[in-house]
A and B are shown apart, each in its own frame.
Chain A
């Protein structure tokens, strides 16, 4: 289990993580989403023991990862730009990790090499961005980690490889109880893979919730109302976003679907449709609530 309590991380005077707290249960796939510079990568680096926290705690099974090789033996971090030794091949990297990680599984390594279409003796530096990520994944999964931290792992992977990745991660989670934390802007992929999502913004955590409850808790409503009622008519609904064009109303409302329908039906709509939001839509609407001036940015 990962427990983050009042975690503070500063870079000089800039606060990257502002006393955030949340918990990630074991055997789950946790998606970290957020705006650029929200602190996603910083959080992953702190959880991996790369960064030392300036305050609060980031604990993995009750232990701080910084300078703790026992915990680090059970985790693996793939950064947004994975590093490989100059002129190294996949076999060279495997050789390196095999000497470092206690749980290195050579059989698993060979198995993964046969799954991914990569040359084991080819120089990694000459590989494409997506292939380099595949190489990093092969070595990461071969260490049999209990915790896998992935930063923008989908970046550069083709659709087939994304499916393969999701399949591999899902099987590791279900078979071994591995915990995965993925920071990504690819919300579509996260939506398929994650069971929990945390939204970071400007170093703070806006929410951390189960994905299903999150998606089921926010809805997009399209309705035609004639005549258009006064704004007071929508009171009692937790409206996050609203757009009215003539008699057409577009609303993003937090709450249960049946409760929303019941309240809106009282306004005698000509047409009404209640749809669950995609993760991307949830992200945008929550960010708007948090003061992210999306309209201005997209102008």
Chain B
């Protein structure tokens, strides 16, 4: 009975605060509804209307304009560049307007003496903010859907786009608003609140990205991938995370699709922030208004991440400019120390507490020493942890730079992975990569990997920072227990550190790996191709002029495919970089959608997909170089498709 009365009373208090807060800011909501209308439905209307007019004017040319494509191109730009920034701007404005009261002594006197408890006071204002965020977006969404209906777009095309994007923007805006609420509760002034929001939003992702980059530069084998798209990069920065959703990434965080871990994390964090904000607000001392902070933890955290981000940034700038260990350390200390002093001056309104704050700077230095120490000593054996060949089910190898092994094979036969698309090229059906499953092939990979690790460790231990590189060799082992092991090595590591003898040994092992049949055939689309997919063949002359397109019969296409496969398998490594890439006559296999025949490798790769699939066109350069394409060259000459000069 008591709890019912209490909850009724609480609901009444929330209603009163909510109603007043909303009523007072209806004008602002109207303004943002108008701005949102201009950002999304209006631009969409103009784009679609323009495209429709052009389409109606040009029917005779055979040139068609797909309004669905115009719609997709438009929303891909408008959402991240206009709709989302507008919504986030509204979050900041609402935070200042709705929570500014707790940062002024005069307004605190009024609001905290009202017969409204703090939970409902904060909750009512928060809900008013959520409604003000939702209404402009909801109206934009509805008008956009009506526009799509008017222009006759496919519902399957626009509804998922619009629905997911608007839902995401609303969701992340609410999370950002919760984050701002928490910052408001912890801050003593509105200035500090805004500064805290901005500093965390910028410096936290920066710190994570830079720390991961430095880790990759320090710890051999550590694969630093998906720097922007990972959940960790924006884990504590909803304002940054809001944009990451619209950046295509490797982790499935692509426009219109939800990475589950990404969303789950934000739902969890939103709940934590909501509870924390209410609990802290109930504990917040009214007299903290106009002070530097109400709770010191955010200040300590912000100072730490700002110090760290500036330290890493300066260390990397100094290191990339002067390229010495000392420059890295000087940059780290200079950047972090300056950032610490600036953060203290901003939050402490001067240098009064500077001396006392150096204790926190010491904490940062200690944390960095631990971080560096762990990585430089191999991260508890991470550097030497290579699975034995018997535990490996398969291994994917990606060699992204020819200089790595001084072998020409990789330069001219670059097709080591490809994507299988749906017929219209809009949906990814499968991604086929170079993957070794044969035990002998796996053993070759493991042998090379072990020798590589041994060479790197032998060249200098504990490890030191080396220049960042995203190219080199990457191993992804899939183990029998279902786990996988990723390791990546920049090519410079080996070239710069290993002695000649070790280098020679490594080259030998790499050559053995690269001449492996499975190594050369898996992931290369020519080994998955059947004549059904080939529409025509285009031969492009050496000077890059207009090519000759031939439409051979099925048998000829099969012969050409066989010739190219044979050349791929038999290509000799080259030690002359000049021979390796570009130039010469090129050949392009112009492909068309087809259904992969039963029993073919491509059928296996696409699994249960039953429709037509598309592959990207396949290119080969330097077709006139006998050492790479003797079979293909002979076949083309024999058929009189083109005459080679040499």
Contacts and interface: CB of A to CB of B under 8 A. Distances in A.
B107 A83 contact: yes
B113 interface: yes
Closest 9 CB pairs of A and B: A72-B115, A73-B115, A79-B109, A83-B106, A69-B115, A48-B113, A77-B113, A83-B110, A50-B112
A11 B9 CA distance: 32
A70 B106 CA distance: 23
A292 interface: no
Pick the most buried of A50, A82, A85: most chain B CB atoms within 10 A of its CB.
Answer: A50
Contact of A85 (B24, B114, B116): B24
Interface string B12-55: 01001101100010000000000000000000000000000000
A102 interface: yes
B13 A51 contact: no
A61 interface: no
Contact of B19 (A67, A85, A99): A99
Contacts of B24: 85
Given A99-B16, A99-B20, A51 B285 contact: yes
A67 B286 CA distance: 12
A207 interface: no
Contact of A100 (B107, B108, B116, B286): B116
Nearest to B24: A85
A68 B282 CA distance: 12
Contacts of B17: 100
Contact of A82 (B104, B106, B115): B106
A97 B117 CA distance: 15
B112 A49 contact: yes
Interface size on B, as a range, is: 20 to 34
Interface in B434-464: none
B118 interface: yes
A119 to B, nearest CB: 20
Nearest to A73: B115
Interface residues of A, number: 27
20 contacts: A45-B286, A49-B113, A50-B286, A51-B286, A51-B287, A52-B286, A67-B117, A67-B118, A67-B282, A69-B13, A72-B113, A77-B109, A81-B106, A82-B110, A83-B106, A99-B16, A100-B20, A100-B114, A100-B115, A101-B115
Contacts of B282: 67
A96 interface: yes
A96 B24 CA distance: 10
A69 B112 contact: no
Contacts of A11: 287
B117 A69 contact: yes
Interface of A: 11, 45, 48-52, 67-73, 75-77, 79, 81-83, 85, 96, 99-102
A102 B115 contact: yes
Contact of A79 (B20, B106, B285, B287): B106
B16 to A, nearest CB: 5
A73 B16 CA distance: 14
Contacts of B110: 79, 82-83
A279 B632 CA distance: 114
Interface string B91-116: 00000000000001011111011111
Interface string B113-151: 111111000000000000000000000000000000000
A242 to B, nearest CB: 42
Contacts of B113: 45, 48-50, 72, 75-77
Interface in B267-320: 282, 285-287
B185 to A, nearest CB: 15
Contacts of A70: 115
Contacts of A76: 113
A69 B109 contact: no
B168 to A, nearest CB: 34
A11 B286 CA distance: 11
Contacts of A68: 117
Interface string B314-345: 00000000000000000000000000000000
Contacts of A75: 113
A88 to B, nearest CB: 9
Nearest to A87: B24
Contact of B16 (A48, A49, A100): A100
Nearest to A48: B113
B115 A50 contact: no
Contact of B116 (A51, A69, A71, A81): A69
A76 B115 CA distance: 9
A125 to B, nearest CB: 12
A50 B117 contact: no
B94 to A, nearest CB: 15
A10 to B, nearest CB: 10
Contact of A52 (B19, B109, B115, B285): B285
Nearest to A65: B113
A133 to B, nearest CB: 13
A83 B286 CA distance: 15
Given A45-B113, A50-B112, A69-B117, 12 more contacts: A11-B287, A50-B109, A67-B117, A67-B282, A71-B115, A73-B115, A77-B109, A83-B110, A99-B19, A100-B17, A100-B114, A101-B115
B108 A69 contact: no
A264 B118 CA distance: 61
Pick the most buried of A77, A83, A99: most chain B CB atoms within 10 A of its CB.
Answer: A83
B637 to A, nearest CB: 85
Given A45-B109, A79-B106, A82-B106, A72 B285 contact: no
Contacts of B108: 50
B137 to A, nearest CB: 27
Nearest to A151: B109
Contacts of B106: 79, 81-83
Contacts of B107: 83
B116 A83 contact: no
A213 B112 CA distance: 36
Contacts of B16: 99-100
A83 B13 contact: no
B289 to A, nearest CB: 10
Contacts of B104: 83
Contacts of B287: 11, 51
A73 B9 CA distance: 12
A52 B283 CA distance: 9
Contacts of A102: 115
A23 B115 CA distance: 23
Nearest to A149: B113
Contacts of A51: 285-287
B124 to A, nearest CB: 11
Contacts of B116: 69, 72, 100
A274 to B, nearest CB: 44
A44 B553 CA distance: 97
A137 to B, nearest CB: 14
B352 to A, nearest CB: 14
Given A45-B109, A99-B19, A69 B9 contact: yes
A77 B112 CA distance: 10
B349 to A, nearest CB: 16
Nearest to A74: B115
A71 B24 CA distance: 27
A265 B285 CA distance: 58
Nearest to A72: B115
A77 B287 CA distance: 16
A61 B629 CA distance: 99
Nearest to A66: B112
Contact of B114 (A45, A52, A72, A82): A72
Nearest to B100: A86
Contacts of B19: 99
Contacts of B13: 69
B566 to A, nearest CB: 81
A83 B109 contact: yes
